Every structure is written in structure tokens, then in C-alpha cells.
Structure 1
Amino acid sequence: GYTVLDYAGAGVMGDLTETAKKEGWDKSVPAALQKFSVYDGKWVAAPVNVHSVNWLWINKAVMDKIGGTQPKTFEDLIALLDKAKAAGVIPLALGGQNWQEATMFDSIVLSTGGPEFYKKAFNDLDDESLKSDTMKKSFDNLATIIKYVDPNFSGRDWNLATAMVIKGDALVQVMGDWAKGEFVAAKKTPDTDFLCYRFPGTDGSVVYNSDMFGMFNVPDDRKAAQVALATATLSKSFQSAFNVVKGSVPARTDVPDTDFDACGKKGIADLKAANEGGTLFGSLAQGYGAPPAIANAYKDVVSKFVHGQIKTSDEAVKQLVQAIDDAR
């Protein structure tokens, strides 16, 4: 994300443009990714994948047991979490680390305010949006959902939260699609063992990050190897084979979905639709919404709110605006 652009601005990145032209990257890689892999007209990074964060991961056996159905709205989600709680299951698996909390808040803001609001607040850093009633309502919704975590959530790693859902100790996790890699590793199958839904109210939009190999200036005797790595990374065969296992989707939109499971096929279709419809948004929590200083300020405020150091939604909005202003 913005880290690649920082290095490019410092003049230390190599130039993959010749390779990119030969391989047709500009036609197959979404414009939203090219914003970070191309600098000053030159390709400086090779995107490995596209991850998206606005997902729910649900244990199907627990869902069936409680008679749950796919939540279409935030209110539906809360009703579903209530059902899990009544059945004695941990409703929401979460790791209490600032990036996990902020990643979930990305989805809540998109769900609460809609695509245009998310873009204005978290990509354009529009002051009016950041200090709006909609942002306050987003913090209210965060306060509501956080009541459904177990008492031991603080400091838990994300994959341990995923394991809670895999084992059926918890019903749902709100997490990026790297969580699917854990289900795949545990030999679990979509629609049989687990369910993947977009966070309620975010269908049609994708909040993304991407893993990229940034390519630095290297001596001439290493350039051929660098080109070989970049070419292999963006080859259709690698993009398919790697992302099938990782849970993410290919960074190029012309890779067939043949080898992907149901969640992967949905992810690929969603990315294509969001790319064409202008609803592909950089995740603020994941370093694609704004530069690192702003992302860190955001994660800090969200985490303080989750852990009770910021007491009210009004105060959270005030501190978010102040923290982002300071970070600018």
C-alpha cells in the first residue's frame, strides 16, 4: 500500500514497466491496485493478490443448531448473535488487538454509512464525514457488537479467533479473507462446514488490501532474476494456485475461477463487480485507505473505544477527528 509509494517517492524502487507492458498488467490489474503498484508512470511493485476485509465467517453446524439464517442487515446480525448467546455459544470471535478491531470497524462504517460515506470518510478523509452523526452511529454499532465477545478476547491472535469458529466454540468472526486459509488448512469446506457472507449491508462493495512485492533498484546482474520473480508472481497459474490456498483472490481480473471453492468464486465475482462499479475501497485498517500515520491513529482510537478508555461515541468521533488531523 502506501509503504510502496513511500519508497517510490524516495527514488529507490526499480522499474518493471517493460515487463508490465509485455504481460498486459495495465489491462488485467484493477486501477485501485495500480494506484499503489505504479508510481510516476512506472510499475514498481508486483501485486500477489487482493484480500478483502468485509466478510463474516460462520460455523455452519452452530448456525444450523440455532436456526440462524444469513443476516442481511446490521440488526439481523445482532439478532443472530443473540441466538448464539441464548444457545450458550460465544457469539463473536475477536482478537482484542488494535488492527483486528479496526478491521471490523471498517466493515461497520461501510454498513452504517454506505459506499459513498466510507469513501469520503476513510479514503478521502473528508472532515465533515469524519465528524458526522453517521460516524457517531458507526461507533454506536461498534459498542453494540462488542458486547458479544468473550471475556478473554484481549490480545488474542486473529488465527486463534478463527480456530474458535472452526471448532464450533464461537459462531462468527468478522475478518479478512485470510481467515479462509485457516478453514482450508483445517480441511473444511464452504457451505458444508462453514459459511462466508459479506458483512451485512456491504454487499456490492469490497474493502481491500493487497500483498505486493515492491521491487527495489538492483545491480544489473540481478535484474533478470527480479523480472523473473515479477513475471511469475503475476502469471495466471501462480495467481490461481497461491490464492486458492491463501483465501485471497487474484490481483488480475482475467484469472479463471475454476480451481476456487465457493467462497473464492464469490470473492472473484465480487472484486470484478466492485472494480467495474467503482465500489472497491482501500481498507483504512489495512494500510490501503490512507498513509501509515493516519491508519495508526485510526487503529489507536478504535481500540481505545473497544477497551473502554474512550467512554462515549461522541468522544470517539472527537478523538478520531483530532488524531487524524494530528497525523496529517
Structure 2
Amino acid sequence: MKRTLMSAAIVASTLATSAQVASAAESLSVLHWWTSGGESKAIRVLKDDMDKQGYEWKDFAVAGGAGAAAMTALKTQVMSGNAPSAAQIKGPLIQDWADQGVLVDIDKSATDWKAQLPAQINKTMMSKGHYVAAPFSVHRINWLWINKAALDKVGGKPPTTWPEFFALADKFRAAGITPVARGGQPWQDMTIWETVVLSQGADFYRKAMIDLDQKTLTSPQMLQVFQTARKIQGYFDKGSTGRDWNLATAMVINGSGGMQFMGDWAKGEFANANKKADVDYICAAAPGTSNAFTYTVDSFVFFQQNGKKEATLGQLALAKTIMSPAFQEQFSLYKGSIPVRQDVSMDKFDACAKKSYADEQTTIKSNTFFPSFAFGDVQSSATEGAITDVVTGFMNSNEDPQEAMRKVAAAAKVK
């Protein structure tokens, strides 16, 4: 009897150990579009954390700053029955995938999320009362990056108005510096255009980009948006067409470019080049936008695996790790963002990040904390795509601003 019990105990122990090994060896296929220097460094933090927990990370990186190529790849994978464990998605697309019934909830890992996330962001991570996405960080979009040596060379200062901006751009041009380092891709053109929209005021942005109000979209202010964007276009260099965003950032880093409109992931590139805020470069709210904050939130959604409607242990571990204070801090330090959790200390962050956090808190209270239209955090992909096509066409041509405004108003009706 003792021998039998011992044998049974050994078998049970072996089975338990095998189960633990199997669990620990779970593979996590992860689709994302973080491929630049600063981005790669940031995502490696998560990969290393999961490796330490015994999970095998299978990286599926698809280049492209706005994620269009990644979303195409994701659709192909899901349709072929080979959905990744997790995929980088944001905004309304989270709800779209949830509505298709292919996601799993991660409530077991989200024990304190409601208390730690800004209410607006918390809502985006949920579907039908359940968490289906884990947010990484908050990126501010309405930044203007300036090479400090170039700024000192021309005797300028960070512009707070468009007249000041264009005066500085003229100084850069006279000094042989490309005034505006621009990457010629649709999402980069939208970054500039959206920022000009925001400069017309928080209420104008809300009505134009969130409400899609036709009266606002055809107003004299919207015409002014296109006229300002056209003037900015005149300060691009001839080689900007098709340029990746990080190459435009590199121009500001090396001083061949004076300024760049870009989200704060650009700071990850500065950090990767060992450049310091207020020493080598300046971060300033784009002209006319200091009292508002447009943001995008990167997040992972979690897909059903092998037909099972419950999250795997690995998916739950991944979600929990993403939202842990330690990871949130380290990820944002590398990425250039600020933690999405509200309880993470900002002591280790630089001046730009601290300003971003302070402005985030202020704008949340003043209701001028807005999701970014340009980065897919507001409207459906159909509406976003239609307006983006109009803006891109305008930014790469000599189209009349009045005609472009008419087209945007029509595009806003696309659902």
C-alpha cells in the first residue's frame, strides 16, 4: 500500500511538474510595429520580462510608424485562423475586434486598472464591461522638436504662435538649415495638419475631429487651417517624400533640420542618440496648443487561441506585466512616452516627460485632453482614411485650400 501511494505521489508530482513546464513554455506570438531604435529598445524590455517569467516570445514586427501594414498583416492572420496571442491596436479598432468575438477578456489581470487609468483611456480598453486591451503608455502628439544648437545659432526661441514659427523658419532657411524636417507619409502629414487644427482652439478641435460637425469643417477657421498647412509645406526639403519619421527626427538630431512636428516617441530617438532635453534639443507644445493635449495610447489586445474563449496564462501574465509600475516606468523611459498608470513616479524622467505629465494632468481637469484623430484614436478607419486621403493629397500638391476644405467636409460623412 505504501509503495502504491508513493508511486501515485510520484506520478502526481511528475504530472504537476509537467503542467508547470508546459505552462512556463507557452509561446506568445506578438504583432507590433515598433521597429526604430528607441522603439525596439522599449519593446525588448517587455520581451525580456516575459522571458524571465518562462514564456517564449515570438516577435512579429511589421515596420511602419502608423501601423497600417501591421493591421493588414493582422487581418490576414486572423482570417487564416492563426491569430497572434497579442497585437498592437488602439482606439475604435479595439471595439471593432471585440465586436467580432475574437478577443478574450483579461479581467483577472486588471484588478486596479480603473483606479489607475485616466477615465477616458480606461473606457477605451474595455468592451461590454470587460477589459480586452492593456495600455502601454501615453504619447503626446502636439509636440514641436527643435535642435537647440541650431536655435542658438540663429538667435531664436521656441515659437508659441504661427507668426513666430514662420519667422524662426525663415531664420533657419537663411542659415542653410532645413526649417521643417518632414517625413512624407500620410500619417506624418496628418500629424502636422491635426496639430494645426488643434491650434485653432480646444472647442474647434472637439467639433471638427471628434464631432465631425459640418459647420465647423466648412468654417473660416478650417480654411485658415489649410492655409497655415500650405505655408508650412513651403518649408519642407525636396527629399522629404516617402521619408520615414525617424529619419526626419535624425535630421533634427544632427542639425541639418531645425524643427519637426512629431509625437513624443521622437524623444526615444534623441535618447538613443545620447541627446539630452534642454541641452541638445527643445521640446515645446506646437504653436497655439500649449493649453491642450492630443494623445495616442498604444495597447495590446488579446486574441482567442486554439478556439478557446478564455485567456491563456501567458496572455494574463503579459497583460499584468504591461500594467505593472516597474515596466510602465522603464518602457516609457526608452520609448519617450509617459506612463499611462497614474501612480508611477516621474522622478527618473527628463524635463520633456515631466512637462508632458504635468500638461496631461492639467488638460484632463480642463477637458482639453483629446484622443488623436491622426493616430486612429477617434474615428472609424473608414472616416479616418477618407479624411487622411484628402489631407495627404493637399500636402503633396498645390491644391486650393478652399477645395481641400470642401473635400474634408465630404470625407467626414464616410462611415
**TM-score category by the smaller chain?**
over 0.9
Aligned counterpart for 1:109 among listed residues 188, 192, 197: 197
1:190 — aligned with what? 277
1:15 — aligned with what? 105
1:163 aligns with 2:250: yes
Q: How does 1:41-190 map to 2 (within 5 A)?
A: 41-111=129-199, 113-190=200-277
1:304 — aligned with what? 393
Amino acid at match of 1:324: A
Q: Which gives a bigger RCO, structure 1 or 2 (Cα 8 Å, sep 6+)? A: 1
Amino acid at match of 2:347: T
Distance 1:30 1:264, change over 3 A: same
Aligned counterpart for 1:38 among listed residues 120, 123, 126: 126
Tell whether the 8 Å contact from 2:304 to 2:310 is kept in structure 1 after alignment. Answer: no
1:118 counterpart SS class:
helix
Amino acid at match of 1:159: N
1:263 — aligned with what? 352
Deviation (angstroms), 1:211? 0.7
Q: Hey, what's the Cα distance between the residues in 1 that align with 2:203 and 2:387?
A: 19
Q: Hey, what's the Cα distance between the residues in 2 that align with 1:193 and 1:108?
A: 26
Deviation (angstroms), 1:236? 0.7
1:289 — aligned with what? 378
1:232 aligns with 2:321: yes
2:237 counterpart SS class:
coil
- What whole-Å deviation, never above 9, does each CA across 1:33-62 have from its counterpart, x for those lacking one? 123211121111000111111001110000
Q: Hey, what's the Cα distance between the residues in 1 that align with 2:206 and 2:310?
A: 43
2:298 — aligned with what? 211
Deviation (angstroms), 1:291? 1.1
Q: Hey, what's the Cα distance between the residues in 2 that align with 1:272 and 1:12?
A: 35
- What whole-Å deviation, never above 9, does each CA across 1:217-238 have from its counterpart, x for those lacking one? 3438862221111111001110
Deviation (angstroms), 1:63? 0.3
Number of equivalenced pairs? 323
2:397 counterpart SS class:
coil
Q: Hey, what's the Cα distance between the residues in 1 that align with 2:207 and 2:92?
A: 18
Q: Hey, what's the Cα distance between the residues in 2 that align with 1:74 and 1:252?
A: 34
Distance 1:18 1:68, change over 3 A: same
Q: Hey, what's the Cα distance between the residues in 1 that align with 2:116 and 2:215?
A: 35
2:339 counterpart SS class:
coil
Q: Hey, what's the Cα distance between the residues in 2 that align with 1:280 and 1:35?
A: 14
1:57 counterpart SS class:
strand
- What whole-Å deviation, never above 9, does each CA across 1:182-205 have from its counterpart, x for those lacking one? 101000000100000010111121
1:202 — aligned with what? 289
Tell whether the 8 Å contact from 1:12 to 1:217 is kept in structure 2 after alignment. Answer: yes
Q: Hey, what's the Cα distance between the residues in 2 that align with 1:292 and 1:251?
A: 24
- What whole-Å deviation, never above 9, does each CA across 1:5-40 have from its counterpart, x for those lacking one? 1011112221223432x2x11111112212321112
Tell whether the 8 Å contact from 1:37 to 1:46 is kept in structure 2 after alignment. Answer: yes
User: Which runs of no fewer than 5 residues in structure 2 stay unpaired?
Assistant: 1-90
Amino acid at match of 1:234: M
1:154 counterpart SS class:
coil
Q: Hey, what's the Cα distance between the residues in 1 that align with 2:345 and 2:145?
A: 24
User: Which runs of no fewer than 5 residues in structure 1 stay unpaired?
Assistant: none
- What whole-Å deviation, never above 9, does each CA across 1:163-196 have from its counterpart, x for those lacking one? 0100000110001111111101000000100000
Moved more, 91-100 or 290-299: 290-299
1:321 aligns with 2:412: no
1:27 counterpart SS class:
helix
Which of the two has higher C-alpha Rg? 2
Q: Hey, what's the Cα distance between the residues in 2 that align with 1:132 and 1:190?
A: 38
1:286 counterpart SS class:
coil
Q: Hey, what's the Cα distance between the residues in 1 that align with 2:106 and 2:310?
A: 15
Tell whether the 8 Å contact from 1:253 to 1:272 is kept in structure 2 after alignment. Answer: no
Tell whether the 8 Å contact from 2:136 to 2:322 is kept in structure 1 after alignment. Answer: yes
Quick one: percent identity of the two aligned structures? 42
Amino acid at match of 1:271: E
TM-score (norm 2): 0.76
Amino acid at match of 2:299: M
Tell whether the 8 Å contact from 2:134 to 2:322 is kept in structure 1 after alignment. Answer: yes
